[in-house]
Structure 1
């Protein structure tokens, strides 16, 4: 796990319940692995947590492919219904927590593009996992790497748009090298 000090991230108890912690980062930056290890660290520190993965809310393919827009636009703007997620996840997070986790101290939301304007204000704290593009691309399986054009036209252009317009490295509360 990338090194960081949990004490710096979480305020001193008692926490505002739940404390909403975003784990942002570009594709293959290690967010899911980081969150898994963070859940364990939270548990060992006496915190109860529940995790939501933004990829669990991806729109059906017909809404995000072959729409007439450029591929990067489809990925950034159509991959998720941004307004619906704001209303039905971020603005009503307590309703989404499973009953067995209602006493969660920390809610983790993990995903790409979390600091877009529509969602950023929902978080108490956001970590951004910084990872070089070549390292992230190397984490793709060999078959996926063969479709370089898709990365260039869909994923990397959307990531560049996010980095240039939203500036997540500047907006994040903490940047962690992964």
Structure 2
């Protein structure tokens, strides 16, 4: 599967970077898949910049302004897309400077951060993992986008095994997250916007579901 996906990552005809998104619900395997794809691309001698949207959260006062249990708040207020665009997507986009910053927020301390600028080489591949990457604010950003399709009963069970959380996706304690992601589905149908939809229910044997 990694060979198949890597073969579909465009090659820049100039100095511009190529931007790839790995989207999916919590527990779908986004980070691992993105890391493995990055390593696969590096094995082809392609320079890769790895970014996670989790480094671009809003501060808590914004994230929880609709209430700590609000699904709407999770869907609408979790991430600072303006900072993601300004610090990563625009400089690594068409005609950009290729000088980027990999984060804007420290989740543990809830502090805004401004890390030193890094520089991507000509034609580097940006691989971004995270939730909600097919939302309207990011429309047109991606040269290739991937949606990892995993049902909530599987993804939530994975998170429970990892974090010791509740394994029932309908449990009230998970309403903010599960219902927030269902709002995303209703608004954006990410599996229709994605270039590649991959069933990642079986981590060791992902299956290509559709190609756009």
- Give the TM-score of the pair, scaled to structure 1: 0.85
Q: Is the contact made by 1:17 and 1:106 (CA closer than 8 Å) also made in structure 2?
A: no
Deviation at 1:134, TM superposition (A): 0.8
Counterpart contact for 1:4–1:176, Cα < 8 Å: no
* Greater RCO (CA < 8 Å, at least 6 residues apart): 1
Once the two structures are superposed, the pairs formed by residues 24-39 of structure 1 within 5 Å of their partners are 24-39=23-38
Pairing 1:92-103 to 2, within 5 Å after superposition: 92-93=91-92, 94-96=98-100, 99=118, 101-103=120-122
Could you tell me which runs of 5 or more consecutive residues in structure 1 were left unpaired when the two chains were aligned.
none
Which structure 2 segments of 5+ residues have no match? 93-97, 102-116, 201-212
Q: Give the structure with the larger helix fraction.
A: 1
RMSD (CA atoms): 2.5
Secondary structure in 2 matching 1:5? helix
Number of aligned residue pairs: give it.
Answer: 176
Quote the residue 2:127 is aligned against: 108
Which of 110, 125, 131 lines up with 2:150 in the alignment? 131
Please tell me whether the aligned partners of residues 52 and 128 of structure 2 are also in contact (alpha carbons under 8 angstroms).
Answer: yes
- In the other structure, the counterpart of 2:173 is 150
Per-residue CA distance 1:33-88 (angstroms, 9 max, x = gap): 00111111101122110111000111122221253586111111111123343334
**Cα distance in 1, alignment partners of residues 139 and 167 from structure 2:** 34
* TM-score (structure 2 length as normaliser): 0.73
Q: Do the aligned residues in 2 keep the contact of 1:48 with 1:105 (CA within 8 Å)?
A: yes
